[in-house]
Structure 1
Amino acid sequence: MDDSTIKLVTDLAALKIVAHPLRARLLGALRMHGPATASELGRRFDESSGSTSYHLRELAKHDFVELDPEQHNARDKRWRATARYTSWRNSDFGDVEGREATRALRGNQTAFLIDKLERHDAAVDELEDVWRDTLAMSDYAAELSPESVRELQRRTLALVEELREKDRGRPDTRFVRLYLAALIDPDDQDAP
């Protein structure tokens, strides 16, 4: 994995662009499923192609997406994500407007995660046994330094990329969402 898989956002305007819920979903779909047209994305998200086209152009202004060089025809523009992941440092957005934008992004991420967890829970009993026995949630807690948390994040991402490459083309793969949240719980800070 190289750094081109991660788009580091340092500009407030770009952060606001990707904080928009539909834009985040469009970007996520392009990352997960590959290039698509505005019409295809509109059908996927029950939006007009005019709406998805506008939001794709807004994402393109800040290099989140670009036109796919492998266009199938001259009429339908296919878009692709420019990086596999988006990242930002909260400390780069310390003013009021920046804090509001990062809070909105975290809120979108939380709402998306809750939706995915609820949908997974509703469907898990219909999965094949091998998947039902494999999929799980874990809760780990440890006293770590900021450097160790960053190392954990870096190594987790590297492992995901390594395993993605190893499994490429296998017939038994499915899209699996993995979430890593490094959180400080204020209730744990007073523990003996």
Structure 2
Amino acid sequence: MWFYRAPMDERTAVTPDAAGLKALGHPVRLRMLGLLRIEGPATATGLATRLGLNTGATSYHLRQLAQHGFIEEDEERGNARDRWWRAAHQSTYTGGASAADPEEAEAHDAYSQALAVFYGEQLHNAVSERMSLPADWLATTTMSDWNLKLTPAKAKALLEALFELIEDVDEEAGADGVGDYVVQLATFPRPGTIQ
């Protein structure tokens, strides 16, 4: 996520530095981290199969994620030959890149580009599966956009209100009919319009 909000629980969220953002600036690493966060611990072999990669490439990307503290070895599973990995946090928060720090700006841009690819792939997959959803789930989907005329202060207030609304939703894990539900939020000035 691009907009910075202080994590509600420091144990479940991470705010990476420029080096961490650079490590996440690879779509494969974002997918791996997402799988570990959503589906739980996995081995390099299991992730390689899910992502269509060889185990060598998968292991390399896992080491990069571990080096920057996004994942950790799950010592309760596996053995010396069968290493399991788990996400170290459930969320990644980022701030805006500083124009004064070219390295930070470049890392933030690479991360944002990788996120755009990742979100686009998720959205494409959701559209592909949409018509096979049960009617009650089909009614929960939308692809909507609004083009608003706002000041930066009003735009930030809107964004904060949306975050608060989403963070206040009570999850219903364990209830009948529960499914994984994704909310992707992209807010930005319309490209080419702000001077």
3-state SS of paired residue (1:66): strand
Q: Work out the CA distance in 2 between the residues paired with 1:7 and 1:142.
A: 33
Compared with structure 1, are the counterparts of its residues 59 and 187 closer, same or farther at alpha carbon in structure 2 (3 Å cutoff)?
closer
1:112-151 equivalences in 2 (<5 Å): 112-140=118-146, 141=148, 143=150, 145=153, 148-149=157-158, 151=160
- Per-residue CA shift, 1:62-102, capped at 9, x if unaligned? 11000114214453111111111112212357433322222
Is 1:155 aligned to 2:160, yes or no?
A: no
Distance change (3 Å), C-alpha of 1:66 and 1:184: same
Counterpart Cα distance in 1 of 2:104 and 2:20: 11
CA RMSD of aligned residues (A): 2.5
The 8 Å contact of residues 7 and 86 in structure 1, kept in 2 or not, is answered as yes
Equivalent positions of 1:32-43 (< 5 A) are 32-43=38-49
CA pair 26-178 structure 1, distance change in 2 beyond 3 A: same
Contact 2:31–2:118 under 8 Å retained in 1: no
Q: How does 1:8-157 map to 2 (within 5 A)?
A: 8-10=15-17, 12-92=18-98, 94-140=100-146, 141=148, 143=150, 145=153, 148-149=157-158, 151-152=160-161, 154-157=163-166
- Structure 1 window deviating more from structure 2 (84-93 vs 37-46): it is 84-93
Q: 1:2 aligns with which of 6, 9, 14?
A: 9
Counterpart check, 1:179 vs 2:184: yes
- Once residues 55 and 192 of structure 2 are traced to their aligned partners in structure 1, the CA distance between those partners, rounded to angstroms, is 46
Q: What is the number of equivalent residue pairs in this alignment?
A: 185
Per mean C-alpha deviation after superposition, the further-off stretch among 25-34 and 130-139 is: 130-139
TM-score where L is the length of structure 2: 0.82
Does structure 1 retain, via aligned residues, the 8 Å contact 2:30–2:115? no
Contact 2:19 2:107 in 1 (8 A): no
Deviates more, 1:35-44 or 1:173-182: 173-182
Note the residue ranges of structure 1 that are not aligned, 5 or more in a row: none
Moved more, 69-78 or 107-116: 69-78
Q: Structure 1 residue 37: deviation in Å?
A: 0.6
Quote the offset at 1:149 in angstroms.
Answer: 4.7
Structure 2 CA distance for partners of 1:39 and 1:186, relative to 1, 3 Å: closer
Q: Give the % identical residues.
A: 33
| Amino acid in the other structure paired with 2:92 | T
Question: Higher helix share goes to which structure?
Answer: 1
Question: Which structure ranks higher in relative contact order (CA pairs < 8 Å, sequence separation ≥ 6)?
Answer: 2
Q: What is the TM-score when the length of structure 1 is the normalising length?
A: 0.83
